[in-house]
Structure 1
């Protein structure tokens, strides 16, 4: 591969946000995929894993900019058991836990387990997903700060 082709490939990769969605219910993946189809900026590529074991295999063979993880996966494991496994596999990107109910008291400790944010399934819409991507994947520095970081 030529150097120019490699740079073009890196640039294209940088313009697409790759999200891994982990949920034991395929219908949830279909629902999120439909919601994400309305996101026009940035381009989003969504991949799916039905279990943490499947997710670990995908993390080992591909790169992801963001992981969205269902709180409860069979057999009754919640983020306190699943997120440490993802972190142990050297995934350092943002992880968001999705749940029908994020009011349980153990959700207050989410950062202790390597979770970046938590969100209710009913809150996932186009605007929220774009915000999550801007906030956790592509931090948009205010223009007034950019001069301070130019070398």
Structure 2
């Protein structure tokens, strides 16, 4: 799936993880990201994430695989899809090698990524791949078909 960011506004990312330190780590890693402009919000639980999604616009959700009391993305992603979120959802985990990760498309997940793989360049790639946003004029020749 893809989302379309509001022209002239930052790409809005919701990071859902029960460990606040993971959010701080992500903010530090992506601090050097200048293009596109990114606004990252944090939710500590799926219930908080559901409330934020109902009350606002998010172009991308990065969702920790395991959030209590839910078992894993096979329970949390359908909850997000169930309230009408149609944008891209990426499942983030320390270990994405378990066999059930192969089922991610069946649950409405667009991609999976290891926590150790996320940095400014990776997030920039993910946004370019899954979110339509205003490109600077000097880039348009490179990205238009």
Q: Classify the TM-score, shorter chain.
A: 0.7 to 0.9
Structure 1 equivalent of residue 21 of structure 2: 27
Structure 2 equivalent of residue 66 of structure 1: 60
The alignment status of 1:108 with 2:93, answered yes or no, reads no
Q: Per the alignment, in what secondary structure is the counterpart of residue 7 of structure 2?
A: helix
What do residues 56-87 of structure 1 show as CA deviations (whole Å, max 9, x unaligned)? 11011110000000001113520000000000
Which of 84, 91, 103 is the equivalent residue of 1:90? Answer: 84
* Structure 1 stretch displaced more, 110-119 or 134-143: 134-143
Taking structure 1 as the reference length, the TM-score comes to 0.83
Which of 51, 59, 78 is the equivalent residue of 2:72? Answer: 78
The alignment status of 1:51 with 2:51, answered yes or no, reads no
**Moved >6 Å (runs of 4+):** none
Structure 1 equivalent of residue 8 of structure 2: 12
Which of 119, 143, 146 is the equivalent residue of 2:113? Answer: 119
Deviation at 1:126, TM superposition (A): 1.3
Q: Tell me the C-alpha RMSD between the 2 structures.
A: 1.6
Structure 1 spans left out of the alignment, 5+ residues = 1-9, 146-151
Higher helix share: 1
Point out which structure has higher relative CO (alpha carbons under 8 A, 6+ apart): 2
Aligned residue-pair number: 133
Q: Aligned partners of 2:76, 2:132: CA distance in 1, in Å?
A: 25
Structure 2 spans left out of the alignment, 5+ residues = 1-5, 134-139
Taking structure 2 as the reference length, the TM-score comes to 0.87
Q: Aligned partners of 1:38, 1:84: CA distance in 2, in Å?
A: 33
What do residues 10-53 of structure 1 show as CA deviations (whole Å, max 9, x unaligned)? 5332xx10000000000000011111211100000000100110
Radius of gyration: which is bigger? 1
